[in-house]
Structure 1
Amino acid sequence: MIYKLLPTTEWDEALAAGRLAGTAVDRQDGFVHLSAADQVVETARRHFAGVTGLTLLTVDPARLGDALRWEPSRGGQLFPHLYGPLPVAAVVAAQALPADTPAADAVAALLD
């Protein structure tokens, strides 16, 4: 499985639309940023420190087809990047993070 961390409000909008076009950063970069299991805690730490109202999506990469590419990013690690919208049907779980726990700690607890 791969993961997407995003504001819950954006997930709610994606549910209504049937797909996630991506966050502002995703749209700026031209792809939907995703993380592998061993990367998502650091992603939360680096990009979502102090942010509340987040949801962690668990995504089945087999449902994304050829639009999913593994490309070098942070420290040369290969990260999953989705070139196109993320279909809601590819999301196998969506878990809201508790507001009183740092995002990285909450993500780590969910993955345990």
Structure 2
Amino acid sequence: MTTSAATIYRILPAAAWTEAQAAGAFAGSAHDLRDGFIHFSTAAQAAETAAKHYGGQADLVLLWVDVTRLDAPLKWEVSRNGALFPHLYGALPVAAVRRAEPLPLDAATGRHVFPALDP
């Protein structure tokens, strides 16, 4: 199954993004390496992903990834609640990231504050 989203999103610790920039690519987190692919979300899935996997964590970065600039296979696979999620079967090249911004926590709610995302 496939979808046509031009932009997918990845949340990761700021330190991991700094390491990826130095290396030229993000190879994945321990969770990604265990599963054999790098997990991404669509704009509609990103907030739920943040709450489920990064709840209360500070010092995170949100990456806007251009799918046309990926070298490895991107597969849309059924995951949480039967929804299709983008999974990258290889490293994420830094050159595919068109935007990276901090993902702050709201002091009142403890939830991450998202900027406007591309659909």
Equivalent residue for 1:30, pick from 33, 36, 48: 36
Kept in 2: contact 1:97–1:103 (CA 8 A): no
Kept in 2: contact 1:26–1:32 (CA 8 A): yes
Deviation per residue, 1:30-51 (Å, 9 max, x gap): 1000001100010001111111
Matches within 5 A, 1:39-50: 39-50=45-56
Whole-Å separation in 2 of the counterparts to 1:47 and 1:39: 12
Q: Residue in 1 aligned with 2:60?
A: 54
Q: Does the residue aligned with 2:90 lie in a helix, a strand or coil?
A: coil
Q: Does the residue aligned with 2:68 lie in a helix, a strand or coil?
A: helix
Q: Residue in 2 aligned with 1:12?
A: 18
Q: Which has the larger radius of gyration?
A: 2
Equivalent residue for 1:70, pick from 62, 76, 91: 76
Q: Residue in 2 aligned with 1:90?
A: 96
What residue identity is the alignment partner of 1:57? L
Kept in 2: contact 1:73–1:79 (CA 8 A): yes
Which 5+ residue runs of structure 2 have no aligned equivalent?
1-6
Q: Residue in 1 aligned with 2:116?
A: 111
TM-score normalised by L of structure 1? 0.90
Higher helix share: 1
What residue identity is the alignment partner of 2:116? L
Whole-Å separation in 1 of the counterparts to 2:110 and 2:43: 15
TM-score normalised by L of structure 2? 0.85
Q: Residue in 1 aligned with 2:4?
A: none
Give the superposed CA RMSD. 1.7
User: Between the two proteins, what is the percent identity of the paired residues?
Assistant: 51
Distance 1:55 1:73, change over 3 A: same
Count the aligned residue pairs. 110
